[in-house]
């Protein structure tokens, strides 16, 4: 049973090849939809009165528990552009709207659940969700450059309080102030988390603990349509797999990373959540098998 | 039995942390030294009268056959700088010297050998070495951006004539004129080679054939001292392992890639060839085991 929080957004995504307007996006939407392939997922967030009912139903139909989603005002909105490399992103417009003063409330019935995903939000809001949980077995935090640069004190508090931190390579280097990712991971581990996961997009990911480093390549794709949501989908596969493991050891972490790469690679094959909406658990397991055969030797 | 060619250089390498002057470098030096851990290696190249006798002896002592090295004039010389990221490199000075009009001659006794490595040289010189070989079982080509941009016609001829091509990600994108590495590899495979190996430095490598894609992460390092020679050392491990395989299949290619990562990661841990000079085959096999345990699941 997973409780997750993060943004629920209306995304306008522009690539040189197409535009996708006011569609369902945001860290918590990607995570909760993706994680629902693995475990019952409970969503804490906020949407505005303008939030299309079909988006709500889309998550609900997947089995996402929506009782932690507050309604009112306007939905968080982002308009961004990708360049021809489909990697660098520029933000044209960002309206926090209902997220501005969002006070997350975890429904009482959910507070005893074992897994918590703190998708990108202001660190204070992430900490509030974590503190409302009774005694989670495993928590994971994601963040963005903005909070590393502008809210470091609160970010450090929540980093120290979680079991694992998910960062991309740029964020890791920025947080630790070193170009070397191995050193950056050690720095973050020293803050408290037992695991640090560094995502490098098409270049794969690295999982660090005090005892091991596990490097893994990404699932190679010929066609990327929209990289939005890749990180949260990765987290959904990683954390999702851990909910299905009886014990956690190097072997289960490796498989969790592989499921992360599978979910991330699926997510980017179409705009927004379109591709994940079209797959079954069987498709996910098939790609997992393909990945394992590519990588293991 | 491997025949290799490429530059034999005196390198002056400057990093923000140290300077290493007129030391042994060049594609063929790194390759021949590294490959000698796996198979008898025969070097075709040129050095000047200024080439220090200790460098000659260093290769000879490792078992590199030197009868294909011509002497006269001045040795190829490069002076380059790395920035703080130890990745981007600027060339301060490059003197082709004896390489300018180098006419490679493969000693008769070597022409029947099975493996050929064509390290970076002008494509015409690479083709000449390949054409002197009788019927090699496996040939591999490396090149650089300069020849992709300035000698495309001859480069295409040698690409079409070899069994495998080694490129870094920038070279692959440039050669195929596409940002996507999977598409780039397909483009190169269509030119003729059976295998295309794309190196991505700290991000690992991808091996492509018409039938498979094998992604592999790099061996993670906390400390990189000098990235010079990483690609040729990778090639030494890859091709070196293939010389020791009875059959070549996906499993042997995966192990070859792993030996490539092992040799590349060792090479960058000190300046020039210093680190490779300090290791034994046992050290290489130990790192191979470590890598396999990190990656396989």
pLDDT tens-digit profile of A17-36?
899 999 999 999 999 999 99
Structure tokens at A295: 């990588």
Of A213, A216, A221, the CB nearest to B182: A221
Give A-chain residues touching B295 at CB under 8 angstroms: 214-216, 295-297
B-interface mutation test, from A209, A215, A257, most B Cβ less than 10 A away? A215
Please name which of A33, A60, A28, A31 lies closest in space to residue A44, comparing C-alpha atoms: A28
pLDDT band of B222, cuts 50, 70, 90: confident
Query: Residue A9: helix, strand or coil by DSSP?
Result: strand
Averaged pLDDT for residues A181-191 = 96
The answer to whether residue A54 neighbours chain B at the CB level (below 8 Å) is: no
- Residue A205 sits at the vertex; the CA angle it makes with A200 and A209, to the nearest 5 degrees, is 130
Look up the pTM and report it. Answer: 0.92
Q: Are A220 and B203 in contact (CB < 8 Å)?
A: no
Give A-chain residues touching B249 at CB under 8 angstroms: none
Residue A208 near residue A202, CB atoms below 8 Å: no
pLDDT band of A198, cuts 50, 70, 90: very high
- Give me the number of domains chain B comprises: 1
Q: β-strands A9-14, A19-25: how paired?
A: antiparallel
Instruction: Return the DSSP state at B108.
Output: G
Residue B30: pLDDT over 80: yes
Averaged pLDDT for residues B21-50 = 98
The answer to whether residue A221 neighbours chain B at the CB level (below 8 Å) is: yes
Q: How far apart are CA B127 and CA B121, in angstroms?
A: 10
Cβ partners under 8 Å of residue A73, min gap 6: A48, A49, A97, A98
Q: What average pLDDT does the structure give for chain A? A: 96
Domain of residue B219, residue span: 2-295
Phi, psi of B262 (to 5 degrees): -60, -50
Give B-chain residues touching A200 at CB under 8 angstroms: 203
> From B253, which residue of chain A is nearest by alpha-carbon distance?
A297
State the nearest Cα–Cα gap between A22 and chain B, in angstroms: 28
The answer to whether residue B170 neighbours chain A at the CB level (below 8 Å) is: no
Distance of CA B254 to the CA centre of its chain: 18
Of B203, B214, B292, the CB nearest to A294: B214
Q: Which pLDDT does position A87 carry in this prediction?
A: 78
For B224-251, how does the pLDDT look when each residue is reduced to its tens digit (9 = 90+)?
Answer: 999 999 999 999 999 999 999 999 999 9
The answer to whether residue B258 neighbours chain A at the CB level (below 8 Å) is: yes
Q: Are B297 and A254 in contact (CB < 8 Å)?
A: yes
Q: How far apart are CA B161 and CA A124, in angstroms?
A: 61
Residue B34: pLDDT over 90: yes
This model of the complex carries an ipTM of 0.87
- Sheet strands side by side (includes B19-25): B19-25, B9-14, B76-82, B89-95
Give the CA-trace dihedral at A79, A151, A125, A142, to 10 degrees: 70
For A208-248, how does the pLDDT look when each residue is reduced to its tens digit (9 = 90+)?
Answer: 999 999 999 999 998 899 999 999 999 999 999 999 999 99
CATH number at residue B195: 3.40.1190.20
Of B182, B203, B219, the CB nearest to A222: B182
Structure tokens at B253: 């290619």
pLDDT band of B89, cuts 50, 70, 90: confident
CA contacts within 13 A on the Cβ side of A128: 16
Q: How far apart are CA B262 and CA B256, in angstroms?
A: 10
Q: Which pLDDT does position B86 carry in this prediction?
A: 80
Q: Which pLDDT does position A187 carry in this prediction?
A: 97
* Cα dihedral across residues B59, B64, B65, B68: positive or negative: negative
Instruction: Return the DSSP state at A193.
Output: -
**A and B: number of Cβ contacts within 8 A:** 85
Please name which of A120, A123, A69, A126 lies closest in space to residue A98, comparing C-alpha atoms: A69
Q: Which pLDDT does position A43 carry in this prediction?
A: 98
Cβ partners under 8 Å of residue B61, min gap 6: none
Please name which of B167, B125, B163, B123 lies closest in space to residue B142, comparing C-alpha atoms: B167
The answer to whether residue A17 neighbours chain B at the CB level (below 8 Å) is: no
Residue A106 near residue A195, CB atoms below 8 Å: no
Residue B121: pLDDT over 90: yes
The answer to whether residue B294 neighbours chain A at the CB level (below 8 Å) is: yes
Averaged pLDDT for residues B137-142 = 98
Which helix (H) or strand (E) element contains residue B28?
helix B27-35
For B36-49, how does the pLDDT look when each residue is reduced to its tens digit (9 = 90+)?
Answer: 999 999 999 999 99
């Amino acid at each position: 049973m997973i409780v997750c929080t993060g943004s629920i957004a209306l995304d306008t995504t522009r690539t040189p090849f197409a535009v996708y307007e006011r569609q369902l996006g945001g860290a918590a939407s990607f995570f909760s939809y993706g994680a629902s392939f693995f475990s019952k997922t409970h969503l804490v967030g906020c949407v505005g009165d303008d939030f299309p009912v079909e988006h709500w139903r889309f998550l609900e139909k997947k089995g996402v528990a929506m009782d932690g989603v507050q309604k009112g005002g306007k939905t968080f909105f982002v308009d961004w552009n990708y360049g021809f490399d489909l990697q660098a992103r520029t933000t044209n417009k960002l309206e926090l709207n209902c997220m501005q003063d969002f006070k997350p409330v975890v429904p009482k019935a959910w507070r005893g659940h074992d897994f918590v995903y703190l998708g990108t939000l202001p660190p204070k809001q992430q900490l509030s969700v974590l503190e409302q949980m009774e005694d989670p077995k495993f928590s994971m935090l994601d963040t963005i450059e903005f909070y590393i640069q502008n809210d470091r004190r609160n970010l450090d508090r929540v980093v120290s309080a979680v079991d694992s931190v998910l960062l991309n390579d740029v964020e890791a280097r920025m947080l630790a102030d070193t170009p070397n990712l191995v050193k950056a991971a050690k720095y973050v581990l020293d803050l408290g988390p037992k695991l640090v996961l560094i995502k490098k997009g098409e270049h794969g990911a690295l999982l660090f603990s005090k005892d091991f480093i596990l490097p893994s390549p990404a699932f190679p794709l010929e066609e990327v349509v929209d990289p939005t949501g890749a990180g949260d989908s990765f987290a959904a596969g990683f954390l999702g797999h851990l909910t299905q493991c009886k014990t956690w050891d190097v072997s289960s972490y490796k498989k969790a990373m592989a499921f992360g790469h599978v979910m991330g690679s699926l997510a980017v094959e179409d705009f927004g959540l379109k591709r994940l909406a079209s797959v079954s658990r069987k498709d996910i397991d098939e790609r997992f098998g393909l990945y394992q055969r590519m990588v293991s030797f």
